[in-house]
Chain A
Amino acid sequence: MTADTTLITTSLDTDRRRTALVQLTVAAIAITLTLVAASVLAPIADITDLSARRQPPSWQHPFGTDRLGRDMLARTVVGLRLSLGIGALAALISAAIALVIGSVAGVVGRWVDAAVSWLVDLFLSLPHLVLLILIAVAVGRGIRGVLIAVALTHWPTLTRVLRAEARRVTASEYVTVARRLGRSETSIATGHLSRHLGPHLMVGTILLFPHAILHEAALSFLGLGLPPHAPAIGILLADAMRELSAGSWWLALLPGLALLLVVKAVDAIGQQIRALTDPWSVHA
């Protein structure tokens, strides 16, 4: 390799790291702004103004108003805050389940491993939405129902990843050497296993988050999630569906677009952190 090509690859690497950092920052700022806007606009989200019903977007109401004259921008950002909250909590619970089950399967013997694999297969054997509906019906609707349904259905894929990683580490030569040197299982778990599982867990959790948000919105949209008066994105879009024939297109377009952007922002955060923590994906 000549000096020239080395120079080119290095500058490319720093460039990719820089893009990753820039994208990460932009996405984080976008999410923070959404949360700040939600706290500022929350008080007016439920104020009805019957003199300003079904108004298309304007400077006064950038997202227009609904059939009761409520400001859609305020309702959308409050809904996004709700989605982010439920998504974050559900993703954390899912990740905790995945961590426990995945590492137990990867470390303990064959039977546990087979049982866990079967359980993962069982959860993946139904379409995700069907499973969500079953759980939502079982625990009852409302915020608790959505949270439980979304939290209980997002662990299987992450469990697979963590299990595979745990098995790879426990079967590796340096762990065998550590065992022969008399290191205890606990010290192997804290010293080797946790360091390998950590990054996977963090990135996996963040990447679960968009799915959790979208599934919460879908469940609420179907009427099986949050209560009909809550300003959740799914509810806003279900309302918009009923208003569609009246020509109120902004009720559907703008809240959905905002949701899409937030989901993409969260996804970008996950992808960029993966790029920054995993040396292979940056120096590829």
Chain B
Amino acid sequence: MLNRRVARFIGVRSARLVLLLAGVAVGAFLLLEASPLDPVDAYVGAEIARVGPEQRAMIAERWGFDDPAPVKFARWIGNVAQGDLGTSSIFNAPVTEVISTRFRTSLTLLAAAWVLSGIIGFTFGVIAAMRRDRLADKVIRWLAYTFASAPTFWVGLLMLALFAVQLGWAPVCCATPIGVDPATATLGQRLAHLALPAITLSLIGIAPIALHTREQVIDVLASDHVTFARAQGEKGWPLIRHRVLRNAAVPAFTLQFASLSELLGGSILAEQVFNYPGLGRATVEAGLRGDLPLLLGIALFAALFVYIGNLLGDIIATRIDPRISLLDRKVGS
């Protein structure tokens, strides 16, 4: 019985994922098909002056640039189904390879920012709720609303100007020191290069999690079981720790996993500011120089990343709160 429900859950979720990816694939393909960029230009790149009209025709013939859109789409999607996303013209490497190396660099940054924003946001939320309507609460709420409207790239620039240029505490760019082979960089060097971009990126995520946790903790503090615990003499931090944190943590986790989408988007800006050679920089490069296969690959990858993030959030929620069941709930929420 249970196994059949698990199978059904996996089935429905996989079907939704396939449908979603198909939608993203068709949509992104149509968009880029409409692009005024010339795929031959993107293919030849810097050699553009040395390529004559005959060679251009040969390139177009070789890669099928002049075929009708449905033919091109069928060819592309057929290759995608076999795990071949095409070749990135600007990196001169298979798209899958570019995405996997770039994403591995980004992953450190994303993970650091994600953990930081989760911990700081949750702590701020709990403090604000405990000190409701007092100074600490007002300051935290004001900061949260301000961070929510501050452009990420501007915050990054300020960090760079203050800590890297004026104070010289942190390096100005990149993921590893300039002139050092990235493979041989030490952990300390990597951390030093990671600090500023990670803090910048974490600021996006703090506001929603802090404000949401605050509401949640206030609700839980008003609940019957907390009143009962208070009546028994519990108070202060032990009360929060034993009676409130777990209840407030469930929605915080869900929200934190749902924020992966915004985190990935923000990483594009943070990587641009700090010249961090991850997937975000690759996205901008691909957009600026018209590397359409890479853009399509990144779109599919981003959709998959966001979907998996949300799914993990749902699964983890059931682990913290035994009352939530993935299987009993109407699938598809």
Which one of B152-160, B185-193, B212-220 contacts A?
B152-160
Of B83-91, B194-202, B283-291, the stretch lying at the interface with chain A is B283-291
Chain B residues closer than 8 Å to A134, beta-carbon distance: 28, 31-32, 295, 299
The 8 closest A-B pairs by CB, nearest first: A127-B265, A256-B154, A129-B265, A138-B31, A252-B157, A263-B149, A249-B161, A122-B23
The answer to whether residues A125 and B303 also contact, given A130-B268, A140-B35 and a CB cut-off of 8 A, is yes
A267 at the interface (CB under 8 A from B): yes
Q: Is the CB of B146 within 8 A of A264?
A: yes
Q: Which residues of B contact A (CB under 8 A)?
A: 19-20, 23-24, 27-28, 31-32, 34-37, 145-146, 149-154, 157-158, 160-162, 165-166, 172, 261-262, 264-266, 268-269, 272-273, 283-284, 287-288, 290, 292, 295, 298-299, 302-303, 306-307
Main secondary structure of the interface of A (DSSP, over half): helix
CB of B287 within 8 A of CB of A137, answer: yes
Chain B proximity of A20: nearest CB distance (Å):
16
Given the complex of chains A and B, what is the CA–CA distance between A9 and B266 in angstroms? 43
Find out whether the CB atom of B165 lies under 8 angstroms from the CB atom of A222: no
A97 → chain B closest CB, angstroms: 16
Q: Closest approach, in angstroms, between the C-beta of A81 and any C-beta of chain B?
A: 17
Given A122-B27, A249-B166, also A260-B32 (CB < 8 A)? no
Q: A223-B284, A263-B149 are in contact. Are A137 and B37 (CB under 8 A)?
A: yes
Interface residues of A (CB under 8 A from B): 118, 121-122, 124-130, 133-140, 210, 214, 217-218, 221-224, 237, 240-241, 244-245, 247, 249, 252-253, 256, 259-260, 263-264, 267
Closest-CB distance, B328 to chain A (whole angstroms) = 22
Cβ distance B21 to chain A, nearest Cβ, rounded Å: 9
Contact B157 A237 (CB under 8 A): yes
Known A138-B32, A221-B269, A240-B157; contact A126-B299, beta-carbon cutoff 8 A? yes
Chain B residues with CB below 8 A from A223, complex form: 284, 288
Give A261's nearest chain B residue, CB to CB: B149
> Which chain A residues border B287 with CB–CB below 8 Å?
133, 136-137, 222, 224
Decide: B264 and A127 in contact? CB cutoff 8 A: yes
A210 contact set on B, CB distance < 8 A: 149
How far apart are B142's CB and chain A's nearest CB, in angstroms? Answer: 11
B31 near A221 with CB under 8 A, answer no
Q: Are A133 and B146 in contact (CB under 8 A)?
A: no
| Residues on A with beta carbons closer than 8 Å to the beta carbon of B158 | 252-253, 256
B146 touches A140 (CB 8 A): no
A218 close to B28 (CB less than 8 A): no
Identify 15 residue pairs between A and B in the complex whose beta-carbon atoms are under 8 Å apart, listed by A's number: A118-B19, A125-B307, A126-B306, A127-B265, A133-B287, A134-B295, A138-B34, A218-B153, A222-B284, A224-B287, A224-B288, A237-B153, A241-B273, A256-B151, A267-B149
B154, A260: Cβ atoms under 8 Å?
yes
**Whole-angstrom distance between the Cβ of A122 and the nearest chain B Cβ:** 5
In the complex, what's the smallest C-beta–C-beta distance from A127 to chain B, in angstroms? 3
B160 contact set on A, CB distance < 8 A: 241, 244
Do A138 and B35 have beta carbons less than 8 Å apart?
Answer: yes
Given the interface contacts A137-B37, A138-B34, does A222 sit within 8 Å of B166 by beta carbon? no
Given A133-B295, A137-B287, A137-B295; A260-B36 close (CB under 8 Å): no
Contact (Cβ within 8 A) A214 B151: yes
Closest to A119 in B: B23
Chain B residues with CB below 8 A from A129, complex form: 265-266, 268-269
B264–A130 touching, CB < 8 Å: yes
- For A133, what are the chain B residues with a Cβ–Cβ distance below 8 Å? 268, 283-284, 287, 295
User: How far, in Å, is B26 (CB) from chain A's closest CB?
Assistant: 10
Residue among A137, A249, A253 making CB contact with B32, cutoff 8 Å:
A137
Question: In chain B, what residue has the closest Cβ to A259?
Answer: B151
B151→A217 contact, CB < 8 A: yes
Q: Are A245 and B265 CB-contacts (below 8 A) given A222-B287, A260-B154?
A: no
Residues on A with C-beta less than 8 A from B261 are 124, 126-128
A136 closest partner in B (C-beta): B287
- Give bound CA distance, A249 to B150, whole Å: 17
CB-based nearest A residue for B149: A263
Other-chain residue from A125, A126, A130, A264 in contact with B149 (beta carbon distance below 8 A): A264
Q: Given the known A-B contacts A126-B303, A130-B283, are A140 and B36 also in contact in the complex, defined by CB atoms under 8 Å? A: yes
* A-side contacts of B302, CB under 8 Å: 126-127, 130
Cα A249 to Cα B154 with chains together (Å): 12
Contact B265 A122 (CB under 8 A): no
**Cβ distance B19 to chain A, nearest Cβ, rounded Å:** 8
Complex contacts, B35 vs chain A, CB 8 Å:
137-140
Q: Measured between alpha carbons, how far is A134 from B294 in the docked complex, in Å?
A: 11
Task: List the A side residues contacting B273 at CB < 8 Å.
Answer: 241
Measured CB to CB, the closest approach of chain A to B236, in angstroms, equals 28
Partner of B157, one of A136, A217, A222, A241: A241
Taken together as a complex, chains A and B put the C-alpha atoms of A122 and B30 apart, in Å, by 14
Task: Specify which chain B residues have a CB less than 8 angstroms from the CB of A241 in the assembled complex.
Answer: 157, 160, 273
Expressed in whole angstroms, the Cα–Cα distance for A253 and B31 within the complex equals 36
Whole-angstrom distance between the alpha carbons of A33 and B272 in the complex?
A: 33
Alpha-carbon gap, A136 to B261, bound state (A): 19
Q: Are A218 and B151 touching (Cβ within 8 A)? A: yes
With A126-B302, A260-B149 as contacts: A237 and B154 at CB distance below 8 Å: yes
12 extra interface residue pairs, beta carbon distance < 8 Å, beyond A130-B283, A133-B295: A127-B261, A127-B268, A128-B261, A134-B28, A137-B37, A222-B269, A222-B284, A245-B165, A252-B158, A253-B158, A267-B145, A267-B149
